[in-house]
Amino acid sequence: MTLPGPTEVASPPAPVEPAALPAPLRALLEAMLPAAWLVEPTRLLVVAANPAAGALFGCSAAELAGQSMRTLAAAPEDLIFWDELAAGRGGHELLSDTLVRRFDGGTAAVTRRIAPVQTDGGRLYLVSLHDRTEQLRTERALETTTAELAATLESTADGLLVTDLAGRIRHCNHRFAELWGIPEDLLLRRDDDAVMDWMRRSVVDPGPYMRRITAIEEATMMHASDQIVLHSGTVLERITRPQCTGGRPIGRVYSFRDITERIAAHKRIEQLSHNDLLTGLPNRALLADRIERALAQTQRDGTPFALLLLNLDRFKHINDTLGHGVADRVLVEVAERLQACVRQIDTIARLGGDEFVLLAQRSDAAGAEAAARRVMEALQRPFTLDGLKFTVTGSVGIALHPTDGAGTDQLLGHADAAMREVKQSGRNAYRFGSPHAAVPESLLRTRMRLDHAMRQALAQQRFRLHYQPQVDLRSGAVLGAEALIRWRDPELGEVAPGAFIPVAEESGFIVAIGDWVLRQAVAQAALWHARGRSLRVSVNVSALQFRQPGFVDGVAATLRAAALPAQWLELELTESILLQDAEDTLARLHALARLGVHLAVDDFGTGYSSLGYLKRLPIGRLKIDRAFVKDLPDDAADAGIVSAIIDLGRALQLQVIAEGVETEAQRNFLRQAGCDEYQGYLYSPALDVRSFESLLAGQAETTPRVVPLRRHPGRVGYDGAS
Ligand code: C2E
Ligand code: MG
Ligand code: MG
């Protein structure tokens, strides 16, 4: 449509004498709501106009009278109509959308109708207009809103489906089609039934799915959240809410989210918490649960039961000569054989390493003995792996309830002592535990000697702390350090913590050592902090130390004395600490977390923590035990475990650090698996303060450093000795 240029704009002309118009017609014109006027067909002049017409053109009705239609019409279609009419060829009606030109030069969009009116004085033409300006503005605003809404729908990560009350599709986004795998042409056909049918056929359980949809559609105000499993294996979370206007439902919005990974992580958490990863057998936690139940049963009706603890003989030898891969397969086969030789009601669990427990229900001494014999027989058949034939034997210690002990720990302790006796007297046999099994005297002597030497070492300040850098896997920056105790005794030489810490734990002296370590490490962290090189220092905490009544206050006081902000201290706790007396542990952990101290689970994966329980603890990170790192990336089982722990960490929003990283290949694997930090000989062993500081000084803030695989200089077999 061509609009007239600004120079052609009409100006209000002098009013002309209106032609004589019948009074009823004038009254009718005046009364009309839409803009209207009458035109005589020869000179095309306005005979009379109503006030609405004046308002539309921006003048008075009187000023319109006498105007020529040639100036008032703005569109070619109108001009042609009037010209034809003046030339005597017109006489038709005209109804269409057009533009009129106002006196101020602007134009107005209108729907215009021209129709002839016969009067006594001859034929006139009635022009009536409906102003469309407001309608067009509303339409444009609606278009913008719709476009914005569509963009919003497309930009969400969720699949969205909007239906009306009858279940017809009013809108959906691409993500919706993607999640359900709906082909594009199906959507373009706008065949709602076909789309609904596609969805029905995609779900694993169409029956319950359809029943639920019907229920949702019937209850128009219902809010609902469901999980839907598709044939593809995808698990969708569907949330639906009513869509309302003016408080009344007009349809429904469904949103779909892919929660497949979340579900898988959850399942893995559940499985990890109850089953041994390698063999799939129940783990210690599940075993403890079953023992508790058996204990309760005995209490109710006196039914006895037996615990048989099986430790494979010289398994270390298999590990060393045939490698971990074969050793793992031996464990798996042992597990299978054991399962095959017990009754349905019994439980075979793996405690870790090469140690298994059989819980023989309803068994007295005779029953337990029969079970032990079956176990020995099951092992007797030779193993054939990789074309290699060999035999595996085991030593079994037996504890009976109620005769040998009242609780799980006590029973397992007696079975363990009996098993050790079997080992000492030549292996490959079983023996019943006695409540007073003795620790061999030679062992007692070394322990006493160590204990005495340790007490002197503390008094004479022979303990030192070394620090092992903890490195960000992505940037290569040193973010923290683990404080590790070192002890050189004038008589015993360098004693590895793995040798003396367990003795200190047994005698209780660990509390004093732990106090010293904490004070020392916090003082060191404070020094670094004051010098502007703040580092998170991790301190190992023993179970006994953690359980001391004043432990949390002691930590707070130590931090205060050194003026170290709590965030720079991390406490490494073992899984066994977390499993103790749940309520007290929880209270302590929360008190520590409130202080601002970080908490880590050390040697993660070796214990039996129920991960469902871990979820509820204020733990900041998991430390993957180096046993799992050692054979990365080649050992498939370890690679699986490590990836699972990292996934778990992610699911529980915990940081993950791996320890014992010795090779580039291990580091690469961990980085790719999404692990956050690592520590190990690859970067550096634990160093004395001075060496540690010079390593930091040499470290370019963000570039990864590679230190060749080496033991601590001048200390043979120390760091790796534990
Ligand atoms: P941990 O807390 O798991 O400490 C890590 C151990 O791995 C340290 O052994 C460390 O030197 C060693 N390590 C680090 N990188 C590598 C590596 O790349 N390869 C290998 N093979 N080993 C590596 P360490 O110092 O002998 O300590 C052994 C255990 O003794 C510690 O295990 C911890 O449980 C305990 N411990 C050490 N210091 C303390 C302490 O101050 N208090 C308490 N309660 N326990 C301590
Ligand atoms: Mg540690
Ligand atoms: Mg550790």
Question: pLDDT per residue over 405-431, tens digit each?
Answer: 788 888 998 899 899 888 887 788 888
Q: Alpha-carbon distance 516 to 32, whole Å? A: 101
> What's the pLDDT score for residue 306?
95
pLDDT single digits (tens) 309-359: 999 988 888 888 788 888 999 999 999 999 998 888 899 999 888 999 999
Whole-number Cα distances in Å, 574 to 53, 231, 551: 90, 42, 16
Burial code (b: 16+ CB inside 10 Å, e: under 16) for 352-381 equals bebbbbbbbbebeeebbbebbebbbebbee
Query: Measured from the CA of 510, which atom of ligand 1 is nearest?
Result: 44
User: Residue with the nearest Cα to atom 16 of ligand 1?
Assistant: 660
> What's the pLDDT score for residue 1?
36
Largest Cα–Cα distance in the chain?
140
Residues 6+ apart with CB under 8 A from 464: 485, 486, 487, 688
Name the DSSP letter for residue 440: P
Q: Alpha-carbon distance 546 to 580, whole Å? A: 11
- Which residue in the block uniquely carries the two structure tokens 């793996």? 350
653: region left, alpha or beta (phi > 0 left; psi from -120 to 50 alpha)? left
- Which residue in the block uniquely carries the two structure tokens 């399942």? 267
Q: Which helix (H) or strand (E) holds 497?
A: helix 497-507
> What's the pLDDT score for residue 575?
77
Give the number of whichever ligand sits closest to the CA of residue 483.
1
Q: State both tokens at 704.
A: 């990864």
User: Residue with the nearest Cα to atom 25 of ligand 1?
Assistant: 484
> What's the pLDDT score for residue 608?
52
Q: State both tokens at 374.
A: 């079956």
Q: Alpha-carbon distance 175 to 161, whole Å? A: 10
Concatenated DSSP letters of 158-189:
SEEEEEETTS-EEEE-HHHHHHHT--HHHHHT
Q: Alpha-carbon distance 300 to 204, whole Å? A: 44
Name the DSSP letter for residue 568: G
Three-state DSSP at 333 gives helix
The best mutation among 659, 682, 709, 712 to test binding of ligand 1, ranked by most ligand atoms within 8 Å of the C-beta, falls on: 659
Nearest Cα to 511, choosing from 554, 482, 472, 474? 554
CB count within 10 Å of CB 23 equals 8
Taken in order of first residue, the domains within the chain and their CATH numbers are 18-135 (3.30.450.20), 156-258 (3.30.450.20), 283-436 (3.30.70.270), 473-697 (3.20.20.450)
Strand runs labelled E in 205-327: 224-229, 235-245, 248-258, 305-312
CB count within 10 Å of CB 290 equals 18
Residues at CB less than 6 angstroms from ligand 1: 468, 484-485, 496-498, 501, 514, 517, 540, 542, 572, 602-603, 626, 659-662, 679-681, 686, 719-720, 722
Name the DSSP letter for residue 63: H
Q: Which residues surround ligand 3, an ion (CB under 5 A)?
A: 602-603
Burial code (b: 16+ CB inside 10 Å, e: under 16) for 116-136 equals eeeeeeeebbbbbbebbeeee
Query: Measured from the CA of 497, which atom of ligand 1 is nearest?
Result: 30
Distance of CA 444 to the CA centre of its chain: 50
Amino acid at site 503: V
Residues 6+ apart with CB under 8 A from 151: none
Q: What is the whole-number distance in angstroms between the Cα of residue 502 and the centre of ligand 3?
A: 14
> What's the pLDDT score for residue 321?
79
User: Residue with the nearest Cα to atom 21 of ligand 1?
Assistant: 720
Q: Are 543 and 574 in contact (CB under 8 A)?
A: yes
The best mutation among 454, 471, 484 to test binding of ligand 1, ranked by most ligand atoms within 8 Å of the C-beta, falls on: 484
Whole-number Cα distances in Å, 687 to 74, 122, 562: 92, 116, 22
Give the number of whichever ligand sits closest to the CA of residue 680.
1
Q: Alpha-carbon distance 592 to 598, whole Å? A: 8
Burial class (CB in 10 A: 0-12, 13-18, 19+), 687: buried
Task: Kindly give the pairing relationship between strand 536-540 and strand 478-489.
Answer: parallel
Q: Which residues does the chain have with pLDDT short of 70?
A: 1-20, 91, 271, 434-445, 579-582, 606-613, 700-722
Whole-structure pTM value: 0.47
> What's the pLDDT score for residue 443?
56
> What's the pLDDT score for residue 435?
52
Three-state DSSP at 32 gives coil
